[in-house]
Amino acid sequence: MVEFLEFTLTGLSAGMIYAAIALSLVLIWRGTRVLNYSQGAMAMLTSFIALEVVYATGNYWLAFAIAMVSGLGLGAVVERIVVRQVTGRPPLNAVIVTIGLLIGIEGLAGLFFGGNNRSFPEPYSPNGLSIGKVALGITRNDIFIGVAVLAAAGLLAVVFQYTSIGLRLRATAFNSPVARLLGVRVGRMLTLGWALAGLLGALAGMLVSPSTLLSPNSMDAIFVLGFTAAVIGGLESPVGAVVGGLILGVVLSYAGGYLGSEVVNLFGLAALLLVLMLRPTGLFSSAPARRV
């Protein structure tokens, strides 16, 4: 029973990170119909920037803030300079361009930061928490992960649902030709969408790097799981992305805990296949499949 609780809690904590990546993919997909294969690489880059700040100043929170700002900036720059060139072209162009970005960013990171695994700081003590004598198997950092991702997701939800900029963002995502007829500067909204996604990715990078260690391709596996979470959620639904991330985190945690860590990746792919076979539009998509 204690074991079950522990697996559940660590699963939720890992799931939060998949949720953050999934949410960033959903944001971009809804806005630009592009699947950003370089999302993990971008998060890796902002984490390296944060790590350099930690080396230079020793201040985790300063590094955290700089990572978030770099994520915003990187997302915006990538949209403006690279993705803008392929909008309105066949979908395969965008796929190739973002895969190219993935390879390019990882290559550059290797050049500047080397290929070694770097240990990455955590904001809080790594000692396990317990209630009375019962160890929970999680630390304050796991709680921080949950709070940070939920806060980011909640903030985004409020912005999208209750502000005029959110209304413009949604209108752009749902029907950009009509949005333009109503005076919405669609180009700026797309840039903003990518910037927000970059911020979420940067957050995921900061949260996951202490456990995966940081190297030029350390975010690849996280990206695949985040993508799986987004597909479970239907790729269209922000709520679905978060729930998909949590489901995936918990399932993988049980699989790793009860069956051994070597089956984790297998289960991740099995979950993806299962959802695609049984409900190809995802668990949370109410809209019929989109004609492309």
Q: CB-based contacts of 267: which residues, under 8 Å, 6+ apart?
A: 251, 252, 255
Q: How many CA atoms lie within 13 A of 107 on its CB side?
A: 6
| Residue 180 contacts another protein per CB under 8 A | yes
Q: CB-based contacts of 131: which residues, under 8 Å, 6+ apart?
A: none
| Residue 84 contacts another protein per CB under 8 A | no
Q: Are 239 and 254 in contact (CB under 8 A)?
A: no
Q: CB-based contacts of 54: which residues, under 8 Å, 6+ apart?
A: 60, 63, 121
CB of 273 to another protein, least distance (A): 29
Taking CB under 8 A as the criterion, the residue among 55, 112, 174, 258 binding another protein is 174
Restricted to residues 233-292, the positions that interact with another protein (CB under 8 A) are: none
Number of residues in contact with another protein under rule CB under 8 A: 17
Q: Which is nearer to another protein, 72 or 179 (CB)?
A: 179
Which of these segments, 45-53, 104-112, 160-168, 258-266, binds another protein (CB under 8 A)? 160-168
Q: Which is nearer to another protein, 127 or 164 (CB)?
A: 164
Q: Which is nearer to another protein, 90 or 114 (CB)?
A: 90
Q: Are 193 and 28 in contact (CB under 8 A)?
A: yes
The residue among 202, 162, 140 whose CA lies nearest residue 9 is: 140
Q: Which is nearer to another protein, 44 or 179 (CB)?
A: 179
Contact residues toward another protein (CB under 8 A) are 164, 167-168, 170-171, 174-175, 177-186
